[in-house]
Amino acid sequence: MICFEDIVIGECMTSSAIVVDRDELVDFAERWDPLPIHVNGEVAASRGGPTAPGVFILALKQRLIHELPEHAVIASFGYDEVRFHHPLRPGDEVRLRFEYVDTRRSSSKPDRGIVTVRLSLVRNEDEVVMSHLDTILVRRRFPLG
Amino acid sequence: MICFEDIVIGECMTSSAIVVDRDELVDFAERWDPLPIHVNGEVAASRGGPTAPGVFILALKQRLIHELPEHAVIASFGYDEVRFHHPLRPGDEVRLRFEYVDTRRSSSKPDRGIVTVRLSLVRNEDEVVMSHLDTILVRRRFPLG
- Please give the mean pLDDT across all residues of chain B: 95
B78/A33 Cβ within 8 A:
no
Question: What's the whole-number mean pLDDT along residues B60-86?
Answer: 95
At residue B145, does pLDDT exceed 80? Answer: no
ipTM of the modeled complex: 0.95
Say if residue A28 is exposed, middle or buried (CB neighbours under 10 Å; 0-12, 13-18, 19+): buried
Provide the pLDDT for residue A64: 98
Name the band, by pLDDT with cuts 50, 70 and 90, for residue B85: very high
Whole-angstrom Cα distance, residue B143 to residue B109?
A: 9
Say if residue A24 is exposed, middle or buried (CB neighbours under 10 Å; 0-12, 13-18, 19+): middle
B82/A79 Cβ within 8 A:
yes
Whole-angstrom Cα distance, residue B78 to residue A81?
A: 7
Tens of pLDDT along chain A (145 residues) come to 999 999 999 999 999 999 999 999 999 999 999 999 999 999 999 999 999 999 999 999 999 999 999 999 998 889 999 999 999 999 999 999 999 999 999 989 999 999 999 999 999 989 999 999 999 999 999 988 7
CATH number assigned to the domain comprising residue B30: 3.10.129.10
| pTM score, whole prediction | 0.96
Q: Is A70 a member of any domain? A: yes
At residue B62, does pLDDT exceed 90? Answer: yes
Provide the pLDDT for residue A144: 82
Q: Is A45 a member of any domain? A: no
Q: Is B114 a member of any domain? A: yes
The neighbour count for residue B33, using CB atoms within 10 Å, is: 20
Provide the pLDDT for residue A125: 83
Handedness of CA A16, A22, A28, A33 (dihedral sign): positive
**Element holding A132 (H helix, E strand):** strand A127-139
Q: Is B47 a member of any domain? A: yes
Beta A18-19 vs B93-105: how paired, if at all? Answer: unpaired
**Element holding B29 (H helix, E strand):** helix B22-32
> Which of A54, A62, A78 has the CB atom closest to B53's CB atom?
A62
Residue A21 sits at the chain B interface (C-beta within 8 Å): no
Whole-angstrom Cα distance, residue B51 to residue B86?
A: 10
In contact, B102 and B9? CB cutoff 8 Å: yes
A133: closest CA among A82, A63, A59, A62?
A82
**Percent of chain A as helix, strand, coil, to the nearest 5:** 20, 40, 40
Question: What's the whole-number mean pLDDT along residues B63-68?
Answer: 96
Report the share of chain B in percent with pLDDT over 90.
92
Name the band, by pLDDT with cuts 50, 70 and 90, for residue B144: confident
At residue B131, does pLDDT exceed 90? Answer: yes
CB contact residues (below 8 A), chain A span 87-126, against chain B: none
Chain B residues whose beta carbon lies within 8 Å of the beta carbon of residue A34: 66
Q: What is the largest CA-CA distance in chain A?
A: 64
A77/B83 Cβ within 8 A:
yes
Q: Is B91 a member of any domain? A: yes
The number of domains in chain A is: 1
Q: Is B145 a member of any domain? A: no
> Which of B55, B63, B78 has the CB atom closest to A84's CB atom?
B78
Residue B58 sits at the chain A interface (C-beta within 8 Å): yes
> Which of A66, A77, A82 has the CB atom closest to B79's CB atom?
A82
Q: Is B144 a member of any domain? A: no
Whole-angstrom Cα distance, residue B127 to residue A48?
A: 42
Q: Is B123 a member of any domain? A: yes
Range of the domain at A126: 4-20+52-139
